[in-house]
Amino acid sequence: MRLVDTHCHVGFKAYAEDADAVIERAIQDQVTMVTVGTQQTTSKAAATLANKYGPVYASIGLHPTHTIAHGFNDTQELDFKPKQEVFHATAYEAILQTSKKIVAIGETGLDYYRLPPESEKAMKRLQWEATTAQFAFAKAHDLPVIIHCRDAHADMVSVIKEQGGRGVIHCFTGTYEEAKRYVEMGWMISFSGIATFAKEVGEVAGKLPLDSLVIETDAPYLTPPPFRGKRNEPLYVKYVAESIAHRRGMSVEAFAEATTRNAIKLFRLPL
Protein backbone atom coordinates (compact mmCIF):
# COMPACT_ATOMS: atom_id res chain seq x y z
CA MET A 1 0.00 0.00 0.00
CA ARG A 2 1.64 3.24 -1.11
CA LEU A 3 0.88 6.54 0.61
CA VAL A 4 1.95 10.15 0.24
CA ASP A 5 2.47 12.23 3.37
CA THR A 6 1.75 15.55 1.65
CA HIS A 7 2.96 17.68 4.55
CA CYS A 8 5.65 16.92 7.10
CA HIS A 9 8.66 18.70 8.53
CA VAL A 10 11.41 16.10 8.68
CA GLY A 11 13.91 18.96 8.30
CA PHE A 12 12.93 20.39 11.69
CA LYS A 13 15.05 20.30 14.82
CA ALA A 14 12.74 17.63 16.29
CA TYR A 15 14.61 15.14 14.05
CA ALA A 16 18.12 16.52 14.56
CA GLU A 17 19.23 13.22 16.10
CA ASP A 18 17.46 10.72 13.87
CA ALA A 19 16.11 12.26 10.65
CA ASP A 20 17.73 9.51 8.56
CA ALA A 21 16.14 6.70 10.59
CA VAL A 22 12.73 8.42 10.53
CA ILE A 23 12.86 8.89 6.74
CA GLU A 24 14.14 5.33 6.13
CA ARG A 25 11.29 3.85 8.21
CA ALA A 26 8.74 5.72 6.14
CA ILE A 27 10.39 4.72 2.84
CA GLN A 28 10.40 1.05 3.96
CA ASP A 29 6.65 1.35 4.43
CA GLN A 30 6.16 2.83 0.90
CA VAL A 31 5.53 6.37 2.12
CA THR A 32 6.50 9.24 -0.19
CA MET A 33 6.93 12.54 1.65
CA VAL A 34 6.69 16.25 0.94
CA THR A 35 8.77 18.00 3.58
CA VAL A 36 7.79 21.61 4.03
CA GLY A 37 9.79 24.75 4.76
CA THR A 38 8.53 27.56 6.99
CA GLN A 39 11.24 30.19 6.38
CA GLN A 40 14.58 30.35 4.58
CA THR A 41 16.51 28.02 6.93
CA THR A 42 13.89 25.27 7.04
CA SER A 43 13.25 25.63 3.30
CA LYS A 44 16.95 24.99 2.64
CA ALA A 45 16.80 21.98 4.95
CA ALA A 46 13.80 20.65 3.03
CA ALA A 47 15.62 20.98 -0.32
CA THR A 48 18.69 19.22 1.11
CA LEU A 49 16.62 16.23 2.29
CA ALA A 50 14.85 16.01 -1.07
CA ASN A 51 18.23 15.81 -2.79
CA LYS A 52 19.30 13.01 -0.45
CA TYR A 53 16.28 10.67 -0.66
CA GLY A 54 14.33 9.63 -3.76
CA PRO A 55 10.92 9.45 -2.04
CA VAL A 56 11.34 12.86 -0.34
CA TYR A 57 10.15 15.99 -2.13
CA ALA A 58 10.30 19.56 -0.84
CA SER A 59 8.17 22.66 -0.56
CA ILE A 60 9.78 26.04 0.16
CA GLY A 61 8.14 29.11 1.62
CA LEU A 62 7.47 31.48 4.48
CA HIS A 63 4.94 30.52 7.18
CA PRO A 64 2.56 33.29 8.30
CA THR A 65 3.74 33.11 11.91
CA HIS A 66 7.29 33.96 10.79
CA THR A 67 6.19 37.19 9.11
CA ILE A 68 5.74 38.85 12.49
CA ALA A 69 8.35 39.86 15.02
CA HIS A 70 6.89 38.11 18.04
CA GLY A 71 5.65 35.09 16.16
CA PHE A 72 5.27 31.64 17.56
CA ASN A 73 8.63 30.32 18.73
CA ASP A 74 8.75 26.54 18.62
CA THR A 75 11.66 24.60 20.06
CA GLN A 76 10.82 21.59 17.89
CA GLU A 77 11.29 23.68 14.76
CA LEU A 78 14.54 25.59 15.21
CA ASP A 79 17.27 25.93 17.75
CA PHE A 80 17.25 29.71 17.60
CA LYS A 81 14.61 32.35 17.96
CA PRO A 82 13.24 33.03 14.48
CA LYS A 83 13.54 36.59 13.26
CA GLN A 84 10.83 38.38 11.43
CA GLU A 85 11.14 37.49 7.76
CA VAL A 86 9.86 39.17 4.63
CA PHE A 87 9.35 36.97 1.56
CA HIS A 88 12.31 37.81 -0.67
CA ALA A 89 11.74 36.23 -4.07
CA THR A 90 15.47 36.33 -4.89
CA ALA A 91 16.39 34.34 -1.78
CA TYR A 92 13.78 31.67 -2.52
CA GLU A 93 14.79 31.74 -6.17
CA ALA A 94 18.28 30.74 -5.04
CA ILE A 95 16.89 27.86 -2.94
CA LEU A 96 14.81 26.74 -5.92
CA GLN A 97 18.01 26.38 -7.94
CA THR A 98 19.47 23.91 -5.42
CA SER A 99 17.01 21.08 -6.12
CA LYS A 100 14.90 19.72 -8.97
CA LYS A 101 12.60 18.14 -6.37
CA ILE A 102 10.90 21.28 -5.07
CA VAL A 103 7.28 20.57 -5.93
CA ALA A 104 5.39 23.39 -4.19
CA ILE A 105 5.57 26.83 -2.59
CA GLY A 106 4.60 27.18 1.08
CA GLU A 107 3.56 26.79 3.67
CA THR A 108 2.12 30.27 3.32
CA GLY A 109 -1.25 31.71 4.23
CA LEU A 110 -3.09 33.39 7.09
CA ASP A 111 -3.00 32.51 10.77
CA TYR A 112 -5.18 34.73 12.95
CA TYR A 113 -4.96 32.52 16.02
CA ARG A 114 -3.68 34.51 19.00
CA LEU A 115 -2.76 37.73 17.22
CA PRO A 116 -2.02 40.47 19.78
CA PRO A 117 -5.08 42.80 19.65
CA GLU A 118 -2.96 45.99 19.71
CA SER A 119 -1.20 45.12 16.43
CA GLU A 120 -3.76 42.81 14.83
CA LYS A 121 -4.33 44.93 11.74
CA ALA A 122 -0.63 45.42 10.97
CA MET A 123 0.10 41.71 11.43
CA LYS A 124 -2.75 40.66 9.18
CA ARG A 125 -1.33 43.02 6.57
CA LEU A 126 2.16 41.42 6.82
CA GLN A 127 0.69 37.94 6.42
CA TRP A 128 -1.35 39.08 3.43
CA GLU A 129 1.73 40.62 1.78
CA ALA A 130 3.80 37.46 2.28
CA THR A 131 0.97 35.30 0.96
CA THR A 132 0.31 37.30 -2.19
CA ALA A 133 4.06 37.47 -2.90
CA GLN A 134 4.24 33.68 -2.64
CA PHE A 135 1.21 33.21 -4.89
CA ALA A 136 2.99 35.34 -7.53
CA PHE A 137 6.21 33.36 -7.03
CA ALA A 138 4.36 30.05 -7.39
CA LYS A 139 2.64 31.27 -10.53
CA ALA A 140 5.93 32.41 -12.05
CA HIS A 141 7.38 28.92 -11.46
CA ASP A 142 4.19 27.03 -12.31
CA LEU A 143 4.05 25.37 -8.88
CA PRO A 144 1.12 24.68 -6.55
CA VAL A 145 0.77 26.49 -3.22
CA ILE A 146 0.53 24.84 0.20
CA ILE A 147 -1.81 26.95 2.33
CA HIS A 148 -1.73 27.14 6.10
CA CYS A 149 -4.96 28.76 7.32
CA ARG A 150 -6.12 29.13 10.88
CA ASP A 151 -9.19 31.15 11.89
CA ALA A 152 -8.99 33.03 8.59
CA HIS A 153 -10.94 31.12 5.93
CA ALA A 154 -13.05 34.08 4.70
CA ASP A 155 -9.93 36.17 4.01
CA MET A 156 -8.12 33.16 2.53
CA VAL A 157 -10.92 32.56 0.04
CA SER A 158 -10.67 36.26 -0.97
CA VAL A 159 -6.93 35.89 -1.58
CA ILE A 160 -7.48 32.84 -3.80
CA LYS A 161 -10.27 34.57 -5.74
CA GLU A 162 -7.98 37.54 -6.30
CA GLN A 163 -4.74 35.67 -7.02
CA GLY A 164 -5.93 32.48 -8.70
CA GLY A 165 -3.41 29.66 -8.56
CA ARG A 166 -3.82 26.07 -7.47
CA GLY A 167 -2.81 23.98 -4.51
CA VAL A 168 -3.91 22.54 -1.20
CA ILE A 169 -5.31 23.74 2.12
CA HIS A 170 -3.18 21.79 4.56
CA CYS A 171 -4.26 20.44 7.96
CA PHE A 172 -7.85 21.47 7.34
CA THR A 173 -9.89 22.10 10.49
CA GLY A 174 -12.71 24.27 9.16
CA THR A 175 -16.33 23.47 8.42
CA TYR A 176 -17.77 21.46 5.53
CA GLU A 177 -19.07 24.70 3.93
CA GLU A 178 -15.61 26.26 4.12
CA ALA A 179 -14.00 23.16 2.60
CA LYS A 180 -16.58 23.13 -0.20
CA ARG A 181 -15.71 26.69 -1.22
CA TYR A 182 -12.07 25.69 -1.74
CA VAL A 183 -13.04 22.52 -3.61
CA GLU A 184 -15.34 24.51 -5.89
CA MET A 185 -12.35 26.71 -6.77
CA GLY A 186 -10.41 23.57 -7.70
CA TRP A 187 -8.25 23.38 -4.57
CA MET A 188 -7.50 20.21 -2.66
CA ILE A 189 -8.01 19.63 1.05
CA SER A 190 -5.45 17.86 3.21
CA PHE A 191 -6.35 16.17 6.48
CA SER A 192 -3.93 15.43 9.32
CA GLY A 193 -4.18 13.37 12.52
CA ILE A 194 -6.74 15.91 13.75
CA ALA A 195 -9.26 14.11 11.53
CA THR A 196 -8.69 10.98 13.61
CA PHE A 197 -9.38 12.54 17.01
CA ALA A 198 -11.64 15.57 16.34
CA LYS A 199 -15.08 14.30 15.38
CA GLU A 200 -16.22 17.36 13.40
CA VAL A 201 -13.03 17.42 11.31
CA GLY A 202 -13.33 13.68 10.67
CA GLU A 203 -16.90 14.18 9.48
CA VAL A 204 -15.76 16.78 6.93
CA ALA A 205 -13.11 14.34 5.67
CA GLY A 206 -15.81 11.70 5.41
CA LYS A 207 -18.11 13.83 3.25
CA LEU A 208 -15.94 15.68 0.72
CA PRO A 209 -15.50 14.31 -2.83
CA LEU A 210 -12.75 11.69 -2.87
CA ASP A 211 -10.90 13.38 -5.72
CA SER A 212 -10.37 16.49 -3.57
CA LEU A 213 -8.64 14.72 -0.67
CA VAL A 214 -5.01 14.22 0.30
CA ILE A 215 -3.54 13.25 3.67
CA GLU A 216 -0.61 14.34 5.80
CA THR A 217 1.01 14.00 9.21
CA ASP A 218 2.27 17.59 9.78
CA ALA A 219 4.98 15.73 11.72
CA PRO A 220 6.43 16.39 14.30
CA TYR A 221 3.01 17.71 15.38
CA LEU A 222 -0.54 16.32 15.63
CA THR A 223 0.29 12.66 16.26
CA PRO A 224 -2.68 10.35 15.65
CA PRO A 225 -3.62 7.48 17.95
CA PRO A 226 -2.15 5.01 18.93
CA PHE A 227 0.88 7.30 19.41
CA ARG A 228 -0.91 10.47 20.47
CA GLY A 229 1.24 12.62 22.77
CA LYS A 230 4.50 11.35 21.26
CA ARG A 231 6.48 12.91 18.41
CA ASN A 232 4.79 12.34 15.06
CA GLU A 233 6.55 11.00 11.94
CA PRO A 234 5.63 10.29 8.27
CA LEU A 235 5.27 6.54 8.92
CA TYR A 236 2.10 7.34 10.89
CA VAL A 237 0.27 8.77 7.88
CA LYS A 238 -1.30 5.30 7.57
CA TYR A 239 -3.33 5.96 10.73
CA VAL A 240 -4.84 9.05 9.11
CA ALA A 241 -5.66 6.95 6.04
CA GLU A 242 -7.23 4.16 8.13
CA SER A 243 -9.42 6.53 10.10
CA ILE A 244 -10.80 8.45 7.10
CA ALA A 245 -11.21 5.28 4.99
CA HIS A 246 -13.24 3.74 7.82
CA ARG A 247 -15.43 6.82 8.03
CA ARG A 248 -16.03 6.71 4.27
CA GLY A 249 -16.87 3.01 4.37
CA MET A 250 -14.07 2.04 2.02
CA SER A 251 -10.99 -0.14 2.31
CA VAL A 252 -7.82 1.55 3.45
CA GLU A 253 -6.09 0.22 0.32
CA ALA A 254 -8.60 1.90 -1.99
CA PHE A 255 -8.46 5.14 -0.01
CA ALA A 256 -4.65 5.07 0.02
CA GLU A 257 -4.51 4.58 -3.74
CA ALA A 258 -7.04 7.37 -4.41
CA THR A 259 -5.28 9.92 -2.18
CA THR A 260 -1.89 8.89 -3.57
CA ARG A 261 -3.14 9.57 -7.11
CA ASN A 262 -4.50 12.93 -5.95
CA ALA A 263 -1.13 13.85 -4.44
CA ILE A 264 0.68 12.80 -7.62
CA LYS A 265 -1.61 15.06 -9.62
CA LEU A 266 -1.35 17.97 -7.14
CA PHE A 267 2.45 18.02 -6.98
CA ARG A 268 3.11 16.43 -10.38
CA LEU A 269 5.17 13.74 -8.70
CA PRO A 270 7.02 11.43 -11.11
CA LEU A 271 5.54 8.30 -9.50
Q: Is the peptide bond before 226 cis (omega within 30 degrees of 0)?
A: yes
Q: Where in 47-106 is the site for Zn ion (CB under 5 A)?
A: none
Task: Return the residue nearest Zn ion (CB atom).
Answer: 148
Select from 93-101, 118-126, 174-182, 211-219 the region that touches Zn ion (CB under 5 A): 211-219
> If binding is defined by CB under 5 A, does position 148 make contact with Zn ion?
yes
Spatial separation of the C-alpha atoms in residues 246 and 265, rounded to whole Å: 24
Of 109 and 165, the one with the shorter C-beta distance to Zn ion is: 109
Of 14 and 245, the one with the shorter C-beta distance to Zn ion is: 14
Of 85 and 107, the one with the shorter C-beta distance to Zn ion is: 107
To the nearest 10°, the Cα dihedral for 166, 220, 55, 246? -70
Q: How far is the CB of 36 from Zn ion (least distance, A)?
A: 5
Of 34 and 213, the one with the shorter C-beta distance to Zn ion is: 34
Burial class of residue 74 (count of CB atoms within 10 Å of its CB; 0-12, 13-18, 19+): middle
Query: What does the DSSP assignment read for 75-129?
Result: TTT-SSPPPP----HHHHHHHHTT-TTEEEEEEEEEE-TT--GGGHHHHHHHHHH
Q: How far is the CB of 86 from Zn ion (least distance, A)?
A: 19
Cβ 147 vs Cβ 170: under 8 Å: yes
Q: How many residues bind Zn ion (CB under 5 A)?
A: 3
Of 53 and 172, the one with the shorter C-beta distance to Zn ion is: 172
> If binding is defined by CB under 5 A, does position 13 make contact with Zn ion?
no
| Residues binding Zn ion (CB under 5 A) | 107, 148, 218
